[in-house]
Structure 1
């Protein structure tokens, strides 16, 4: 029996829920009274965290998926609908961030893996729900991009390219669904204190805690805001950088520490 039939609480589906932004979003949605469908590769770790929150099976279900594998995340979405019902909100949060150097052959594999996770994985996260949400006439699809997608940064080619693609993809999808009742929200985090960013070797202005980001993201999603940079100050900085002539932009970033490449220490 579909457990959603006896439980009127709204449902949110979140990928990358085992840590960082995904985990903070799960907590925020739980506080707001949602049922949770949480997806991660590290399901044992996620399940232990869920149990620590005291959430029973009616409140939260955990699904295993690697978003870089299309069949894996599509199957998780289908399992969610079968077990818990069609979500009200789907948040494609899972992503990776690794530095790259195009002169290094191995880093071409880093690029391919980043695009598979951050882009194909995002579309595959949405796929199981689009037709059903359209038929229902409601739902919100949320893509987690980054301010790093506004302008390319040295050493960040894979990540910047993938996040710029998230923005463009979500904009395209928003247009496709504009008359369906299904909303598409694009969120661009600035620097958020997570295990991913703690390895960065450069300053992180306007750094937010994961919980502070989740509060602002929840409000933006609830308002069905089509595009929002969080915090707004980083949006101003990124747009100003976008306006700089290339020669000046290159000088500003000359000598800036780069993101770790795969296998590098801090």
Structure 2
């Protein structure tokens, strides 16, 4: 039996005094890939932010467990150190910090150890090559002057370098052309090759899922998961939309 990485019990959470998630339950085991889909405004991105501990969101009821430890009140950086990673719909620019510096600092914070520059450079060059990232990008400021698709590639580079226990990918395919979707998918596939790494892919577009192995699909409506099934649920959504699930709650 797989070890449980993340377990959410009866979670109620929201922002600015508004409850967005209602009695939500979810369990992700080591090595599993989960997909979260639902109509606009259903709470998909909210769930990702609450799991990561974004201070703009508050939990009013329920709990979040990480490897059997309650992390409901932990800060975002504390969750990241435990092995949690999240990519965002719109990655932020960080002027003055190179991609190389950012990733090396994150790796050292994660491991608590200094990483030799030569070893780090070898690793990041190999990861960049796998993602068809130009070598000169690594020394550029993080996301400054990059297109949306290029920023998503940089996030995949972070994913492959950090190798988190759980990666939450929030609309990673948003705004990408066909070639960029394939490149990002290749990065996710490479990450999946590590059999004890888990994924929660939040998306409204099934295109990126065509290239990936998926264990479970969850449909979220009005802040509650109303249906969980196999990858075959994706075909139902493609054919019928979310209408069949709107009355399930």
Question: Per the shorter chain, which TM-score range?
Answer: 0.3 to 0.5
Q: Which has the higher contact order (CA 8 A, sep 6+)?
A: 2
> Which structure carries more helix by proportion?
1
TM superposition score normalised by structure 2? 0.35
> Which structure carries more strand by proportion?
2
